[in-house]
Amino acid sequence: MRKISMIAPGVIAAMLSLTAQGDELRQLRTELEQLKQTYETRIQVLERRLQEMQSAEPSGAAHAHANAGNAPAAPSPQRGVRRGNAFNPNASVILNATFGEFSRDPAMYALPGFALGEDSGPGEEGFALGEAELIFDANIDDRFYGSLTLALATEDGETKTELEEAYIQTLGLPAGFTAKAGRFYSRIGYLNEFHPHVDDFVDRPLAYRALLAGQYGDDGVQLRWVAPTDLFLEIGGEVLRGANFPAGGAAHDGKGAASLFAHLGGDVGVSHSWRAGLSHLHAQARERKSDDGDNSFSGDSDVTIADFIWKWAPQGNPSRTNFKFQTEYLHRAEDGLFNDLDYSGEQNGAYAQGVYQFMPKWRAGVRYDWLEADNRGAAVADSVLDTLGHDPWRASALLEYDPSEFSRLRLQYNRDASQPDVDHQLFLNFVMSLGAHGAHAF
């Protein structure tokens, strides 16, 4: 308030002196007005000339710009448009729901010889909404790319949010290196890195279900290197927290798991392409609970995976017909204490599948997978580790209709011999993606 009372007299004084110089001011104003008018006409003339020149410019004259460096030859019309959300990350939503029919009660599901991790069941009977995923990703700056995947699912009547992936990845490291940090799915094997909604089949292979609880993801860092060769060669490794199955309890001061992987790949002619890989995960488990919560394992878990993918598309154009063959072999060795009793186990599993797009929008596929366990030690008798003399296996058939790139409808039948009594399973499933156009990995 005091300030205003001090300023006010100054303003009044200035105004008084202005009226005193009124004539001079009026003169100045008219001069200014004249100046303005001349400039306006001048600008108009210049604008008109510019327009004339632009429309008269022959289409081929653009090469004259070449020496002017990077100046665009013709501006794109959308260049002027600025939207407030232009810098928002790409966002997409994945909706996924399944109708399941089982000849046996899925609550009784088990894989004899294996203590299963979380969410390793065959799914629910009847109508069930699977996870709805929210994905955001974008380049952070010229050095980093970031991605976030949230899964929304209902568990025991409550909607839960799970942070599936949240990582950054470098874009500008020299010599073919790429580093990744945060929470991500490990790059071991082939299927492990993918979110289940991009899988060809409704459910993961038994080997993934039993040995990796679907897939292994954790907090940590990854470094990989692509060789400067004609043949695709990539090698890399990860150090991870070790909080999730097959690790557990974030052993070794939160550095409880490490992996190494190598991938090779290339083309054979124009119609065939392939990728092969070998990876190893060493995980330490500290009181790793099984899905039912009744069992606990502490010790070492070592997973080795060999994978091979072969794709065919006539002339390399998959639009009309294409075929994909995919197989992986998983081996897991565990050694430690199971419910405080000695246990050492060797477990193997594999699957092979082929999916054929026989006409646009339609795909059909078959898959066979099996598991076997050789568990020893005092812990085995009368526990879930006892195989009961049965090696689980399963055969599946799939029919898929994709109205567009963004929608899939699937019908799948499983003859599931996870347990000695065969379970006949039928799934009707949709996976749809809304929003940004995601790129598809090989």
Partner 1 sequence: MKKLWLLLGGALFYITLAQPAHAALAVFACEPEWAALAQELGGDKVSASSATTALQDPHHIEARPSLIARMRRADLVVCTGADLEAGWLPLLLRQAGNAKVQPGSPGYFEASQWVELLEIPARLDRAEGDVHPQGNPHLHTDARNITRVAAALAARLAEIDADNAAFYRARHQDFAVRWQAAVQRWEQQAAPLKGVPIVVQHRAWPYLNRWLGLREVAALEPKPGVEPSSAQLAAVLSALQNEPAKFIVRAAYHDARPSEWLAERANLPIVVLPYTVGGSDAAQDLFGLFDDTIRRLLAIAQ
Give yes or no for residue 442 binding partner 1 (CB under 8 A).
yes
Q: Which is nearer to partner 1, 15 or 171 (CB)?
A: 171
Q: How far is the CB of 332 from partner 1 (least distance, A)?
A: 20
Contact between 232 and partner 1 by CB under 8 A: the answer reads: yes
Pick 27 or 139: Cβ nearer partner 1: 139
Residue with smaller CB distance to partner 1, 286 or 324: 324
Among 18, 45, 227, 364, binds partner 1 (CB under 8 A): 227
Tokens of 349: 């599993």
State the CB neighbour count (10 A cutoff) for residue 53.
9
CB-based contact 226:232 (threshold 8 Å): yes
Non-local (6+) Cβ contacts of 369 within 8 A are 205, 206, 207, 349, 350, 351, 352, 393, 394, 396
Least separation in angstroms between CB 233 and partner 1 = 7
Determine contact, residues 351/199, Cβ cutoff 8 Å.
no
Q: Burial letters for 329-347: b for 16+ Cβ neighbours within 10 Å, e otherwise?
A: bbbbebebbbbeeebbbeb
Q: Does 181 bind partner 1 (CB under 8 A)?
A: no
Question: Binding residue for partner 1 (CB under 8 A) from 21, 139, 154, 161?
Answer: 139
The number of beta carbons lying within 10 Å of the beta carbon of residue 136 is 17
CB of 128 to partner 1, least distance (A): 26
Residue 129 is a binding residue for partner 1 (CB under 8 A): no
Q: Which of 230, 293, 382, 389 binds partner 1 (CB under 8 A)?
A: 230
Least separation in angstroms between residue 175's CB and partner 1 is: 8
Residue 437 sits in the site that holds partner 1 (CB under 8 A): yes
Q: Is residue 267 part of the contact set for partner 1 (CB under 8 A)?
A: yes
Long-range interactions of 394-397: CB distance < 8 A, separation 24+: 394/206, 394/367, 394/368, 394/369, 394/370, 394/418, 395/366, 395/367, 395/368, 396/201, 396/353, 396/365, 396/366, 396/367, 396/368, 396/369, 397/364, 397/365, 397/366, 397/367
Nearer to partner 1, 308 or 413 (CB): 308
Collapsed DSSP state (helix, strand, coil) of residue 384: coil
> Which residues from 277-316 bind partner 1, rule CB under 8 A?
311, 313, 315-316
User: How far apart are CB 433 and partner 1 at their closest, in Å?
Assistant: 10
Pick 124 or 193: Cβ nearer partner 1:
193
Output the six-digit token pair for 291: 């899905």
Please identify, using beta-carbon distances, which residue of 45 and 171 lies nearer to partner 1. Answer: 171
Instruction: Compute the least distance from the CB of residue 312 to partner 1, in Å.
Output: 11
Minimum gap (Å) between residue 320 Cβ and partner 1: 5
Residue 431 CA, chain-centre distance (Å), reads: 15
Total of chain residues touching partner 1, rule CB under 8 A? 67
Selected from 89, 237, 266, 354, the binder of partner 1 by CB under 8 A is: 266
DSSP state of 49: H
Q: What would the two tokens of residue 410 be? A: 């699937």
Q: Identify the residue among 92, 178, 295, 348 touching partner 1 (CB under 8 A).
A: 178
CA atoms within 13 A on the CB side of 8: 5
Sign of the Cα torsion 98, 103, 105, 106 reads negative
Interface of this chain with partner 1, residues 46 to 85, rule: CB under 8 A = 59-60, 62-63, 65-67, 69-70, 72-78
Per CB under 8 A, the segment of 20-28, 96-104, 137-145, 247-255 that binds partner 1 is 137-145
Exposed/middle/buried for 348, CB within 10 Å: 0-12, 13-18, 19+?
middle
CA distances from 52 to 47, 48, 71, 292 (A): 9, 6, 20, 79
Closer residue to partner 1 in complex, CB, 144/413: 144
Give the DSSP letter of residue 361.
T
Contact call for residue 171 and partner 1 (CB under 8 A): yes
Considering beta carbons, is residue 35 or 171 the nearer one to partner 1?
171
Q: Which residues contact 108 (CB under 8 A, 6 or more apart)?
A: none
As beta bridge partners, residue 273 has: 267, 311
- Choose the stretch contacting partner 1; rule: CB under 8 A; options: 115-123, 191-199, 261-269, 298-306: 261-269
- Residue from the set 273, 396, 412, 418 that interacts with partner 1 by CB under 8 A: 273
Q: Is 213 exposed, middle or buried (0-12, 13-18, 19+ CB in 10 A)?
A: buried
Which residues make up the interface to partner 1 (CB under 8 A)? 59-60, 62-63, 65-67, 69-70, 72-78, 139, 142, 145, 169, 171-174, 176-178, 224-235, 263-267, 270, 273-275, 311, 313, 315-320, 360-361, 404-406, 434, 437, 439-442
